[in-house]
C-alpha cells in the first residue's frame, strides 16, 4: 500500500547502490544522519538502553529518549552512508511496515462514509474526533437534504488546500518536522559540520572561510547591502557568519533528534 508523507520521502533508484542525491533530497535522510552523529544516542545503541535509561522515576527527556530508541533502533553503520540509510529505512518493524513508513508516514485512513447499523457503531463513531454523525430524514426532498448536509460539512469539516496540505504541523505521523525544511540547506549545514568535525579530529585549525571553500559554499549576495562597495575582507566576514549559522543549525538538529524532534 502506498503511504502518504507530508515531507518528501527518499527514493533510492537502486537498493543495492542508492543514489546519493536522491537520498539527500529527503529531510528524513538528514534526520537519520543527525541521529548517527548524536553521541548520546550512539551510546544507547552500543550499550543496553535499559541499563542507561531504566530509573525509578525517569525524567521527561529520558522517556523521550527511550521512545526514540525503541522506534528508530540502531543507526550505527560502517561503509556507505546511503546504503546504510536505505537498509535502515526499509527494515520491517513489528507492525509489518517498513521503518521509514512506520516513523514518518501519515496514518492509513480506515474509516469510510457508511450507514451505522447498530447503537454500538453509533456510540463508537460519536466518540471519534475524526467523524461526524448525521441524522437524515428519508422523507425529505433530496435537494433540501443535500443543502443541509453541505451546510453541516462546511461548519464541521476543515479542508486544506495548496501549501497547507504539506504543512508539517498538520502531520499526524509518529514523527514529523516542526517546520518545512529545505534539503539543500540541510546538506550545507551537515557538510560544514562534518568538515569542521574532521578538522578537529586531525587537530587541524581551519577558518570558516576555508570551511566554506571545502564544500564550495559561495558568497551569497546580501539583500540589505550594496555588494559593489564591499571589499574581499568584508565578503569573507559575511561568509564566515553564514558558515557559523549553518553549523549552529546542524548542532541544534543533532541535539534535538535525541528527543524525537527535528528543526
- What residue spans define the domains of the chain? 20-104, 119-170, 183-259
Query: Which residue positions in the chain have pLDDT lower than 50?
Result: 162-165
Instruction: Please give the model's pTM, rounded to 2 decimal places.
Output: 0.78
Asked whether the beta carbons of 38 and 255 are under 8 A apart, the reply is yes
Phi, psi of 92 (to 5 degrees): -70, 145
> Considering only CA atoms, which of 20, 3, 41, 26 is closest in space to residue 260?
41
Q: What is the pLDDT of residue 86?
A: 98
Q: What is the pLDDT of residue 110?
A: 57
Give a three-class secondary structure readout of 139-175: CCCHHHHHHHHHHHHHHHCCCCCHHHHHCHHHCCCCC
The cell numbers describing 139, all together, are 422523507
Long-range contacts of 219-228 (CB under 8 A, 24+ apart): none
Chain segment 50-64, per-residue pLDDT in tens: 666 666 678 899 899
The cell numbers describing 249, all together, are 543549525
Asked whether the beta carbons of 132 and 148 are under 8 A apart, the reply is no
Distance of alpha carbon 198 from its chain centroid, rounded? 26
Q: What is the pLDDT of residue 124?
A: 67
Q: What is the pLDDT of residue 129?
A: 60
The cell numbers describing 56, all together, are 525509578
Q: What is the pLDDT of residue 54?
A: 61
Q: What is the pLDDT of residue 164?
A: 45
Phi, psi of 3 (to 5 degrees): -110, 150
C-alpha 203/C-alpha 31 separation (Å) is 28
**β strands within the chain, DSSP E:** none
Q: What is the pLDDT of residue 162?
A: 46
> Considering only CA atoms, which of 22, 18, 21 is closest in space to residue 77?
18
Q: What is the pLDDT of residue 10?
A: 96
Amino acid at each position: 500500500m502506498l503511504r502518504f508523507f507530508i515531507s518528501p520521502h527518499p527514493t533510492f533508484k537502486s537498493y543495492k547502490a542508492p543514489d546519493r542525491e536522491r537520498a539527500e533530497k529527503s529531510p528524513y535522510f538528514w534526520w537519520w544522519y543527525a541521529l548517527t552523529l548524536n553521541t548520546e544516542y550512539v551510546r544507547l545503541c552500543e550499550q543496553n538502553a535499559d541499563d542507561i535509561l531504566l530509573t525509578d522515576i525517569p525524567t521527561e527527556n529520558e522517556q523521550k529518549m527511550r521512545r526514540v530508541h525503541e522506534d528508530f533502533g540502531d543507526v550505527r553503520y560502517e561503509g556507505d552512508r546511503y546504503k546504510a540509510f536505505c537498509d535502515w529505512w526499509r527494515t520491517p518493524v513489528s507492525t509489518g511496515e517498513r521503518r521509514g513508513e512506520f516513523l514518518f508516514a501519515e496514518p492509513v485512513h480506515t474509516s469510510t462514509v457508511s450507514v451505522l447499523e447498530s447503537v454500538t457503531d453509533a456510540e463508537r463513531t460519536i466518540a471519534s474526533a475524526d467523524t461526524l454523525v448525521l441524522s437524515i430524514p428519508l422523507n425529505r426532498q433530496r435537494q433540501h437534504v443535500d443543502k443541509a448536509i453541505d451546510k453541516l460539512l462546511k461548519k464541521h469539516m476543515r479542508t486544506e488546500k495548496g501549501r497547507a496540505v504539506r504543512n508539517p504541523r498538520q502531520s499526524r505521523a509518529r514523527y514529523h518536522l516542526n517546520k518545512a525544511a529545505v534539503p539543500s540547506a540541510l546538506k550545507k549545514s551537515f557538510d560544514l559540520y562534518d568538515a569542521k568535525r574532521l578538522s578537529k579530529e586531525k587537530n587541524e585549525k581551519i577558518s570558516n572561510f576555508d570551511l566554506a571553500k571545502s564544500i564550495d559554499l559561495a558568497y551569497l549576495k546580501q539583500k540589505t547591502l550594496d555588494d559593489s562597495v564591499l571589499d574581499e575582507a568584508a565578503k569573507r566576514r559575511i561568509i564566515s557568519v553564514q558558515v557559523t549559522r549553518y553549523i549552529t543549525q546542524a548542532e541544534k538538529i543533532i541535539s534535538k533528534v535525541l528527543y524525537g524532534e527535528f528543526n
